[in-house]
Amino acid sequence: MIFGAVEFPPIENVIEWPAFFFKNSDYFAFNKIALIYFLGMAIPAVVFLLANRGDALVPRGFRTAAEGIVEFVDGQIVQAAIGPDGRKYMPLLTSLFLFIFIGNITEVIPFFQMPGNARMAGPLVLALIVYVTWISVGIKHNGLGYIKEVLVPPGVPKPLYVLVTPIEFLSNFLIRPFSHAVRLFANMLAGHILLVTFSVLCISVFSASLLFIVEPFTFAGLLAFTAFEVGVSLIQAFVFTILTAVYIGMALHPAH
C-alpha cells in the first residue's frame, strides 16, 4: 500500500503469521503469536520457580521480582476491587496480569516486535475464561438467584424492568466479554500500527534526500511512541486484570 512516497506494509503482515511447527495442522499450527503466548506462560513460570529457590527470609533477585508482582496484584487489584475475599483469585489474576503483560511487551522487543494481544485470539480466550469464571463465582456464592439479581436489579420501578432487564442482559452477558476482549485487542493493534507507521516514516525519509531534514522528528516520534507503548502494555494488562477483579467482586457481592 503506497501513500505518496511512503510504502506501508499490507495488513496481511499483521494477520498472517507462518507456522514454525505443525505447519499442516489447522488447530495446532505453531506460529510467532503462539510463541508469544508460550513465553507468556514460560517466563512467569521460570521467574516464579527461580524465586521459590531463593532465601525466603531475605528476598533477593527473582524472589524480589516475584514478590513485587504478587504484592502489586494483591494490593492494587485484589484488595482494591474485591477485598480480603479475593485472595483465592490471586492465581487467576496474577496469571492474567503476567500473561497479558508479556503478550503486550513483545511489541517493543526486537525480533518479536508484535504484541501477541494485537491478535484477537488471546484477548478472546482470556475474556471467555473470565466470563465463565465470574458467572460461576456468582452462581456458586449466590445460587441461581444471582442471574435474577443481575437481570432484575432491586429498587427499580416495576414498569422500567421492561427496559432495564434487556439492557442488563445485553450489557452483562453479551457486551461485557466482547468489550473486555476488544479493549485489549484494539489498544494493542492500534499501538502496533502506530509504531509501524513511524518506523516506515523513518525508513522512508532516511532514503529520501529532500525529506532527510525531518528524520530527527520522525525518529524522535518513534522513540516517544515506543516508550508510550511500554506504558500502554503495562496499563492494558492492569486494566484487563482489574476489570476481571471488578467482575468477580460484583459476582461475589451483587448487592453492592
Interacting residue with another protein among 189, 195, 232, 243 (CB under 8 A): 189
What is the rounded CA–CA span in Å between residue 104 and residue 108?
Answer: 9
Task: Identify the helix (H) or strand (E) that includes residue 58.
Answer: none
How buried is residue 116: exposed, middle or buried, by Cβ count under 10 Å (0-12/13-18/19+)? Answer: buried
Compose the 63-82 pattern: x for residues touching another protein by CB under 8 A, - for all others.
x--xx--xx-----------
Interacting residue with another protein among 94, 233, 236, 244 (CB under 8 A): 94
Say how many residues touch another protein, by CB under 8 A: 51
Interacting residue with another protein among 56, 160, 220, 224 (CB under 8 A): 56
Torsion angle in degrees (nearest 10) through CA of 215, 217, 221, 222: 20
Contact call for residue 92 and another protein (CB under 8 A)? yes
Q: Which residues, numbered 196-215, are part of the site for another protein (CB under 8 A)?
A: none
How buried is residue 132: exposed, middle or buried, by Cβ count under 10 Å (0-12/13-18/19+)? Answer: exposed
Query: What's the first-to-final CA gap in the chain, in angstroms?
Result: 52
Interacting residue with another protein among 82, 114, 126, 245 (CB under 8 A): 126
Tell me if 69 sits within 8 A of 237, measured CB to CB. Answer: no
- Which residues here bind another protein, judged by CB under 8 A? 10-12, 14-16, 19, 25-31, 33-34, 37-38, 40-41, 44-45, 48-49, 51-52, 56-57, 63, 66-67, 70-71, 90-92, 94-95, 98-99, 119-122, 124-126, 129, 182, 185, 189
